[in-house]
């Protein structure tokens, strides 16, 4: 259990992005299949959402399934899809209770039609909630997101909905999946890997990165607290000089 007094008076990141890594290794250490690790990892998400909100975090984005994850073994992809489907069902039940707004970022067109319907239902049901803003990156890849944004800009340009002079960073932001969501202040990746893996590349231009060896199913409220303490040790200059 984290000590609430430790964070008192500190700067709490408005938006934290998470890469939930290490489920397979966690399972292997216990001589269990990778799918078991994914199941245990999914159970940890709600706990960390609650802890983050209680600490004062307003936005939390998790990397649930990337555009590259389709290349994994069929059994693992099928299990991940079942877990995500079940999570969406549970999220629909829990969103009102927890006053949490849920949005899915990524290209959902490749997902099962019923899953797409659940996503739309969840986003509509929770859009007026005022608690934690929770984003799930599902069939998400930052390069894919940027290309989709560019294509929409080209279409609008061809329809004379905008001019070349209109295109700047602010306009481009509005064509991304994260429209209306502030850029992450802190990115946390579990399991010791130190790369972004095609995650929020545009949005994390000035994000602070925190890498931990803790495997995602073991990542606790105390580990989240440690990441926020690390964040407070950094001086954020956004390319300027202080």
Q: How many helices (H) and strands (E) does the chain have?
A: 7, 6
Choosing from 69, 98, 133, 139, the catalytic residue is 69
The whole-angstrom separation of Cα 173 and Cα 176 is 5
Q: Quick check: is 226 catalytic?
A: no
3-state helix, strand, coil in the chain (%, to 5): 50, 15, 35
Answer for the pair 23, 216: CB distance below 8 angstroms, yes or no: yes
Please, what is the angle between helix 221-232 and helix 34-55, to 10°? 60
Q: What is the CA radius of gyration of the chain?
A: 18
Dihedral sign from CA coordinates of 236, 17, 218, 195: negative
The CA-based angle 209-210-211, given to 5 degrees, is 120
Q: Quick check: is 5 catalytic?
A: no
Place of tokens 């399991």: 191
The whole-angstrom separation of Cα 21 and Cα 114 is 27
The whole-angstrom separation of Cα 57 and Cα 15 is 6
The whole-angstrom separation of Cα 145 and Cα 162 is 20
Q: Catalytic residue numbers?
A: 21, 69
């Amino acid at each position: 259990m984290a000590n609430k007094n430790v964070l008192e008076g500190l700067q709490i990141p408005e938006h934290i992005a998470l890469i939930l890594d290490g489920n397979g290794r966690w399972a292997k250490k216990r001589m269990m299949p990778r799918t078991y690790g994914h199941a245990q990892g999914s159970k940890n998400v709600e706990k960390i959402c609650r802890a983050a909100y209680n600490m004062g975090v307003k936005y939390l984005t998790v990397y649930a399934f990337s555009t590259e994850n389709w290349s994994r073994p069929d059994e693992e992809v099928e299990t991940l899809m079942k877990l995500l489907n079940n999570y969406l069902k549970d999220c629909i039940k829990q969103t009102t209770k927890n006053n949490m707004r849920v949005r899915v970022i990524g290209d959902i067109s490749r997902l099962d039609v019923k899953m797409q319907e659940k996503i739309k239902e969840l986003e509509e049901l929770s859009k007026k909630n005022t608690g934690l803003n929770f984003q799930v990156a599902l069939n998400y890849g930052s390069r894919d997101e940027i290309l989709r944004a560019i294509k929409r800009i080209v279409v609008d340009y061809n329809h004379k909905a905008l001019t070349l002079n209109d295109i700047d960073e602010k306009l481009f932001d509005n064509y991304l999946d994260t429209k209306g969501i502030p850029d992450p202040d802190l990115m946390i990746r579990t399991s010791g890997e130190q790369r972004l893996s095609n995650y929020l590349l545009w949005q994390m231009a000035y994000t602070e990165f925190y890498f931990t060896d803790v495997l995602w199913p073991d990542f606790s409220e105390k580990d989240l607290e440690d990441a926020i303490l690390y964040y407070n040790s950094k001086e954020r200059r956004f390319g300027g000089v202080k």
